[in-house]
Structure 1
Amino acid sequence: MRKWGPLIAVCLGTFMLLIDVTIVIVAMPDMAGDLDASFADLQWVLDAYTLALAAVLLAAGNLADRLGRRAVFVGGTLVFTAASVLCALAPDTATLIAARTVQGLGAAAMFATTLALLGHAYQGRDRGLAIGVWGAVSGAAAAVGPIAGGLLTQHLGWEWIFLVNLPIGLLTVVMALRVLDESHGDRAARLDVPGLVTFTAAAGLVTYGLIRAGAEGWGDATVLTVLVVGAVALAAFVAAEHRAAHPMLELGLFRSPAFSVIMLGGALAQFAAFSCFPQISVWLQSFLGYGPVATGLTLLPMAATAFVVSGLAGRLLHDVHPRGPVGVGIVLIGAGSLLLTLVDADSGRWILVPGLVTIGVGVGLAMPQIAGVALGSVPPHRAGMAGGALNTFRQLGFALGIAIAGVVFRSTVEGRLDGTQGIADPQAAAEAVGSGAAPAIVAAAPPGSRDTIHAAIGDAFAAGLDRVFVVCGTVGVIAGLLVLVVVRPTRPRTVPAPAPAPAQQPEPSDAV
């Protein structure tokens, strides 16, 4: 137990923080019903966690180097666990979104330290085995999330997708204090406060602007103002990083076309693979009438395929330069999203399987290998920063993808419902459809027009899904082709061993 105790402690925390990305998706319709949540509210329940995680990930690694990685890991776990309880007790969506933000901050502190802790605890063959187990657990979190969310939501209530973190979090803290040794990195490095503040502002404002645009339209004054201020904050971040003695992200790395493209590819792969899931979940539950468990099982083929392919790729492709698997994998993610356009108003859930399996193959090929491309495109002493940047871009890709997919879906549904007899306010109807309230719209209609309205909503829902799938598919194919064209196998694959130093090493998994 003493030998493998550090691995168990780190894997428990990693599993808990990564499963919370996907476990929420299946519970969204129940949350909307209990909390009277709007479509935009549901997007923020997902994005608040991911944005907070992305915004402070690099800074958390820097802080861990100075204060101690075990201390930051334990502190982050306590914050994450306490915020999970607040999520479960939230009386309204504002409180839930705030608690999810705090959850994301705790998750960033945990995620930034996991591989550095393992690198310090193990050497040689044991280190390789520990990293492999950690990667498998990370991948399993994505696969288990929809099923766990469905089981807990259907049999105990959506609150339990958060309450289950309480015993796991406390066990993780106890084990970490007992079996993990403290370690540090560069204790002289200063925290890049201007970079942290401007980056967080830019990411948050742009996401808010996109989500609000879905509800109010692109001509809304607040939308335009927020997006402009977000662009100014991004410019301020660039200026701050140029001036910083110890920048959170060294902008000189982007002079390498391969590094720039792999950061973009990581973000767009997340966008293409996962940003359509909220709409699929709502469609399965509110329109087709499936429960949370059946919905989780429907989404399982993607994550399960990714998990299997990831393991096989690690064994069979270890002598292949990662450019090929990454580029082809992202193209397959896009192709799978395009296969999902087979859905129409009369489709059942099994029409999703070919597309989901294809996406899973792409995720399994690309995500574990993408770290090798990122590390191979920078000098060895910048490996930690490159890994942290990749994780940050991937989380941002997911957050922005959720927002953009929401805009596309909502505007398409509203356009299709405009002029439908019995629907006086297509904007409000589109909002209700997106939040899972389609049955309520039909039930509230006069008896003689219910069949017509049900059919119209079905057509609008299918059209909205189709447009989202096309956007995701196009993004994925373009991103994959960019990787294949720009990233060149100029030298043999050399992925540095993960550690003991930088706290921001990348994860070798297909986790979200």
Structure 2
Amino acid sequence: MSADRRRWIGLVSISLAVALIIVDSTIVNVAIPSIVDDLGITSTQVQWVQESYTLVFAALLLVFGTLADRWGRRRMLLIGVGVFTVASVLAALSPTGDLLIASRVLQGVGGAMVLPTTLSLINATFRGRERGIAFAVWGSTIGGMVAVGPLLGGWLTTAFSWRWAFGINIPLGLIIAIGILLTTRESTDSREAGIDIGGAVLSILASAALVFGLIEGRTYGWWLAEAAHIPSVLGGTWPLSISPIPLVFVLAAAATAALIWRGRRRTRAGRTSMLPFDLLAIASFRNGNVAAMIVSLGEFGIILALPLWLQNVLGYSALQTGVVLLALALGSFAASGLSAAVIRSTRPVTIVRAGIAAEIVGVVSLGVIIAPHTAWWAIVPCLFVYGIGVGLATAQLTGVVLQDVPVDSSGQGSGTASTARQIGSALGIAILGTILFSSTGAVLSSSLAQTSAALPETVRSQIVDAVVTSAGGAIPGLVEKDAAVGGEARQAFSDGTRYAAFTAAGFLTLGLAATFRLSSPAPSAPSAPQTPVEQTAAHEAGSGDPRRRDLRQTARRGTV
């Protein structure tokens, strides 16, 4: 097998590795209602099943991206696939919600090893126009696996158990590991630099505190404490009248400020930093990460609400839910392949904008049609358009973000890009999940007070708590016991899902606006060979040499 052919086959194995992460997320989304029924987890735990994975994933991406540069990107990728597979086994065997969340934490560790190394391997292996094609293939492979995920998860959950939705990762992990070993060469960075452990701790603290506050605010109180729900560290109840949530937000802000201060200080001293301020000086990298984070706020949060609504309100099985969500995946797969063709004649940033615009149209359409009796044929076109947008935007946005990042810094650069998206995803799940459950509770409480005034207030409160705490899982039982009350619950959950969809559209609109600060080279412009100064700048940009900024700026001006 020729080296060039092996390189492209290796790209498929690399793409399948990150697709393993995507498949797991889509499978979990479809299986959530069954997990709620089997383990009896609450709506807050439902959010944490997603967030525990996403938070750890986001917090460790930069660390493992940098370590992969030093220790070997292929080696780190293989370790990550192994950790993720073992964690999947533990998740499949979890007897309680808390243990399932713990298993998801370990999955996050494995995923954080996988994602930045796939991007950095592509960034280090391909150049010029081939790099754009490689990212399109990467996106197309993910799109194909996304198409399989909901259907496979729905079938496994319906025919067997939600536990098999995690168990399927075992054979997938083995296939991916073998493919990488046979087709992918090791890639390392010649630099030797330490890891910013303090920065890693601060980033974990900042992101965890922020997401904790967003998720738990409706439980503990956003400002005044609900003492009955807050255990004190010293025993008894929370001793203050103010809720711990504002204090948690202050902690998140302080940790973020400390992380930025520490990063700037280390960068000035020529030391490695968790936040790569030298890379953030690159306009395309800085602005691209801002846009990616905002877009991710809207892209992934809505996926938490849809399976719950489809199964608990419309009464679909997990398999039927997977079939409906297949429209999103097919749109993503088709558009990712299309972007590989149009990249030759269209600027990547134009493709990104078109994709985000399609996402907005799809999500707004969903918000308009969501109701207790919405037909599947009305949902599918909206999801397909949304999927087209995801497919167009995802791969090309990644390419735009990394287009000016030196190869020697590809691990840190891809890790930062992935972190921005994952933090956006975590915030999206936290914010949209809170909007879903809070608005459902408020709407249901109001409607029951008007239509079921004969019911005692304590009974109405119990109904609202049951619907919200079970993430909608109590709705089918309410419909059987009292059609009128069950109908109000279905309407309230539909309203909550609709509000979440419109909020997601708002974030996507902000993300679209942010892309107008991005630029990319004309697609017809051939890649010019590097001058000696450009080559030196690319090497020095990834080193600890304080001259790297001046060299990079000199290379971009084309002066010697």
Range of TM-score over shorter length: 0.7 to 0.9
Distance in 2, Cα, partners of 1:496 & 1:57: 32
Confirm or deny: 8 A CA contact 2:30 2:154 kept in the other structure.
yes
Deviations 1:157-176 (A, max 9, x none): 10011111122223434554
Asked whether 1:487 is paired with 2:501, we answer no
> What letter is aligned with 1:203?
S
Which residue number in structure 2 is paired with residue 31 of structure 1?
Answer: 35
Judge which range, 53-62 or 117-126, deviates more. Answer: 117-126
Judge which range, 95-104 or 163-172, deviates more. Answer: 163-172
Distance in 2, Cα, partners of 1:50 & 1:496: 39
Which residue number in structure 1 is paired with residue 415 of structure 2?
Answer: 388
> What letter is aligned with 1:390?
A
By relative contact order (CA 8 Å, sep 6+), the higher-ranking structure is 1
| CA-CA distance at 1:333 after TM superposition | 1.3
Distance in 1, Cα, partners of 2:18 & 2:402: 22
Judge which range, 212-221 or 90-99, deviates more. Answer: 212-221
| CA-CA distance at 1:37 after TM superposition | 0.7
Asked whether 1:292 is paired with 2:318, we answer yes
Which residue number in structure 1 is paired with residue 196 of structure 2?
Answer: 192
Which residue number in structure 1 is paired with residue 429 of structure 2?
Answer: 402
**Structure 2 counterpart of 1:225, from 247, 259, 279:** 247
Asked whether 1:477 is paired with 2:481, we answer no
> What letter is aligned with 1:354?
P
Which residue number in structure 2 is paired with residue 272 of structure 1?
Answer: 298
Which residue number in structure 1 is paired with residue 258 of structure 2?
Answer: 236
Confirm or deny: 8 A CA contact 1:42 1:435 kept in the other structure.
no
Distance in 2, Cα, partners of 1:133 & 1:331: 22
| CA-CA distance at 1:118 after TM superposition | 5.6
> What letter is aligned with 1:424?
S
| CA-CA distance at 1:387 after TM superposition | 3.2
Which residue number in structure 1 is paired with residue 288 of structure 2?
Answer: 262
> What letter is aligned with 1:302?
L
Judge which range, 335-344 or 397-406, deviates more. Answer: 335-344
Deviations 1:349-388 (A, max 9, x none): 3332232122122212211221233234667776654433
| CA-CA distance at 1:197 after TM superposition | 1.1
How is 1:150-161 mapped onto 2 (pairs within 5 angstroms)? 150-161=154-165
Distance in 2, Cα, partners of 1:464 & 1:283: 9
Deviations 1:255-279 (A, max 9, x none): 5665444222212222222211222
Confirm or deny: 8 A CA contact 1:6 1:121 kept in the other structure.
no
Percent of matched pairs sharing the same residue: 33
| CA-CA distance at 1:317 after TM superposition | 3.3
Which residue number in structure 1 is paired with residue 346 of structure 2?
Answer: 320
Judge which range, 248-257 or 261-270, deviates more. Answer: 248-257
Deviations 1:115-152 (A, max 9, x none): 44467778999988866544422222222221111111
Distance in 2, Cα, partners of 1:379 & 1:120: 9
Distance in 1, Cα, partners of 2:282 & 2:127: 32
Asked whether 1:81 is paired with 2:85, we answer yes
| RMSD, aligned α-carbons | 3.1
Distance 1:494 1:274, change over 3 A: farther
> What letter is aligned with 2:72?
G
Distance in 2, Cα, partners of 1:318 & 1:463: 43
Which residue number in structure 1 is paired with residue 371 of structure 2?
Answer: 344
| CA-CA distance at 1:292 after TM superposition | 0.8
Partner SS, residue 42 of structure 1: helix
> What letter is aligned with 1:487?
L
Partner SS, residue 461 of structure 2: coil
Deviations 1:287-346 (A, max 9, x none): 211111110111111221121112112212323222222123213212221111221233
> What letter is aligned with 1:38?
T
> What letter is aligned with 2:518?
V
Asked whether 1:361 is paired with 2:388, we answer yes
Distance in 2, Cα, partners of 1:312 & 1:164: 29
Confirm or deny: 8 A CA contact 1:7 1:118 kept in the other structure.
yes
Distance in 1, Cα, partners of 2:528 & 2:84: 30
Distance 1:390 1:434, change over 3 A: same
Confirm or deny: 8 A CA contact 1:76 1:106 kept in the other structure.
yes
Asked whether 1:457 is paired with 2:489, we answer yes
> What letter is aligned with 2:250?
V
Which residue number in structure 1 is paired with residue 112 of structure 2?
Answer: 108
Distance in 1, Cα, partners of 2:491 & 2:464: 16
Distance in 2, Cα, partners of 1:14 & 1:326: 21
Distance 1:168 1:371, change over 3 A: closer
Which residue number in structure 2 is paired with residue 183 of structure 1?
Answer: 187
Which residue number in structure 2 is paired with residue 306 of structure 1?
Answer: 332
Which residue number in structure 2 is paired with residue 136 of structure 1?
Answer: 140
Judge which range, 286-295 or 71-80, deviates more. Answer: 71-80
| CA-CA distance at 1:416 after TM superposition | 1.2
Judge which range, 186-195 or 80-89, deviates more. Answer: 186-195
Partner SS, residue 503 of structure 2: helix
Confirm or deny: 8 A CA contact 2:347 2:521 kept in the other structure.
no
| CA-CA distance at 1:478 after TM superposition | 2.4
Asked whether 1:467 is paired with 2:507, we answer no
TM-score of the pair, normalised by structure 2: 0.80
Distance in 2, Cα, partners of 1:9 & 1:172: 6
**Structure 2 counterpart of 1:209, from 208, 213, 238:** 213
Distance in 2, Cα, partners of 1:313 & 1:131: 10
Partner SS, residue 347 of structure 1: coil
Distance in 2, Cα, partners of 1:142 & 1:465: 22
Confirm or deny: 8 A CA contact 2:137 2:340 kept in the other structure.
no
> What letter is aligned with 1:440?
G
Partner SS, residue 324 of structure 1: helix
Judge which range, 100-109 or 132-141, deviates more. Answer: 132-141
| CA-CA distance at 1:491 after TM superposition | 6.5
Distance in 1, Cα, partners of 2:362 & 2:127: 40
Confirm or deny: 8 A CA contact 1:55 1:199 kept in the other structure.
yes
Judge which range, 255-264 or 14-23, deviates more. Answer: 255-264
Distance 1:108 1:494, change over 3 A: farther
Q: Which has the larger radius of gyration?
A: 2
| CA-CA distance at 1:28 after TM superposition | 0.3
Which residue number in structure 1 is paired with residue 308 of structure 2?
Answer: 282
Deviations 1:446-502 (A, max 9, x none): xxxx12101211221121112111111111122212323x234577678999xx999
Deviations 1:227-265 (A, max 9, x none): 221121111211221122111322355456654442222
Distance 1:100 1:409, change over 3 A: same
Deviations 1:68-101 (A, max 9, x none): 2232222212211111110001111111111111
| CA-CA distance at 1:8 after TM superposition | 5.6
Distance in 1, Cα, partners of 2:509 & 2:302: 16
Confirm or deny: 8 A CA contact 2:213 2:248 kept in the other structure.
yes
Which residue number in structure 1 is paired with residue 473 of structure 2?
Answer: 436
Partner SS, residue 112 of structure 1: helix
Judge which range, 199-208 or 182-191, deviates more. Answer: 182-191
Asked whether 1:413 is paired with 2:452, we answer no
| CA-CA distance at 1:435 after TM superposition | 4.6
> What letter is aligned with 2:36?
A
Distance 1:126 1:348, change over 3 A: closer
| Number of corresponding residues | 495
| CA-CA distance at 1:106 after TM superposition | 0.9
Q: Which runs of 5+ in 2 are unaligned?
A: 226-242, 530-537, 543-560
Deviations 1:401-427 (A, max 9, x none): 111011111111111121513423365
Partner SS, residue 188 of structure 1: coil
Which residue number in structure 1 is paired with residue 557 of structure 2?
Answer: none
Which residue number in structure 2 is paired with residue 507 of structure 1?
Answer: none
